[in-house]
Amino acid sequence: FHKVMEGINKAIDLGYNPVKVNCVVMRGLNDNELLDFVKLTEEKPLDVRFIEYMPFDGNKWNFKKLVSYQEMLGTIKQRWPDLERLTSGASDTAKAYRVPDFQGQIGFITSMSEHFCGSCNRLRITADGNLKVCLFGNTEVSLRDLLRSGATEEDILEIIGAAVGRKKQQHAGMFNISQMKNRPMILIGG
């Protein structure tokens, strides 16, 4: 804990802005720490982002451990009823809030309870060179193989454009996602 806090404080001291702290909230594991994480934003210009627990290979997904955005928001508003919603950009994946007079802010990534797939513009390249257009999608395009085979920049842009064009408007829903084969998050990258 102390080394993590040292790293966070060092990032702030070095002028990184924002410094994001991601927190996957799980019932019975850390849902009782929500208010402590919000309190971190009082004196520090942090962006604490609460992420709904999501099904990935190896994380022992259990629907009962999911704490929804609305439930988290309700818990926080009991302590800070004047919590204010901040304006979000069209492609933001987090719903941002701030407690008045706190230096930082909080956000909620609601990929299980309130889908934002249609406006998400995120792409990921895995450590082994595969393009993922959706964190939940199990289809990947090997950019590494394209590059190694001598593909031109134009070829690569065309392949990326085609992959983005196949991106779904909405993911399959939480119960279907839990049945899909996908890499564990540690192999996808955050």
Confidence band for 93, pLDDT divided at 50, 70 and 90: confident
| pLDDT (0 to 100) of residue 141 | 94
Angle at 30 between CA 137 and CA 119, to 5 degrees: 30
Please check whether residue 168 is in contact with residue 134, taking contact to mean a CB–CB distance below 8 angstroms: yes
Cα 106 from chain centroid (whole Å): 13
Q: Per-residue pLDDT tens for 27-55?
A: 999 999 999 999 999 999 999 999 998 87
pLDDT at 122 over 90: no
Q: Of 65-69, 88-92, 162-166, 178-182, which range is least confident?
A: 178-182
Check residues 82 and 188 and name the one with the higher pLDDT.
82
| pLDDT (0 to 100) of residue 186 | 53
Mean pLDDT, range 169-179, rounded to an integer: 56
| pLDDT (0 to 100) of residue 180 | 56
pLDDT at 101 over 70: yes
What value does the mean pLDDT of the chain take?
87
The reported pTM is 0.79
Confidence band for 188, pLDDT divided at 50, 70 and 90: low
Under the phi-then-psi rule, with left for phi > 0, alpha for psi from -120 to 50, and beta for the rest, what region is 26? beta
**Sign, Cα dihedral of 81, 79, 92, 52:** negative
Mean pLDDT, range 101-122, rounded to an integer: 88
DSSP per-residue codes, 6-75: HHHHHHHHTT-SSEEEEEEEBTTTTGGGHHHHHHHHHHS-EEEEEEE----TTS---GGGB--HHHHHHH
Can you tell me the distance from the alpha carbon of 106 to that of 20, in angstroms, rounded to the nearest whole number?
Answer: 9
| pLDDT (0 to 100) of residue 91 | 83
- The answer to whether the peptide bond before residue 184 is cis (omega within 30 degrees of 0) is no
Q: What is the number of other CB atoms lying within 10 angstroms of the CB of residue 132?
A: 21
| pLDDT (0 to 100) of residue 134 | 80
Q: Where are the domains of the chain?
A: 1-114, 120-187
| pLDDT (0 to 100) of residue 171 | 59
| pLDDT (0 to 100) of residue 54 | 80
Mean pLDDT, range 61-75, rounded to an integer: 92
pLDDT at 127 over 70: yes
Q: Quick one: 25 exposed, middle or buried, by C-beta within 10 A (0-12, 13-18, 19+)? A: buried
- The structure tokens listed for 76 are 């926080």
pLDDT at 185 over 60: no
- The structure tokens listed for 143 are 């950019």
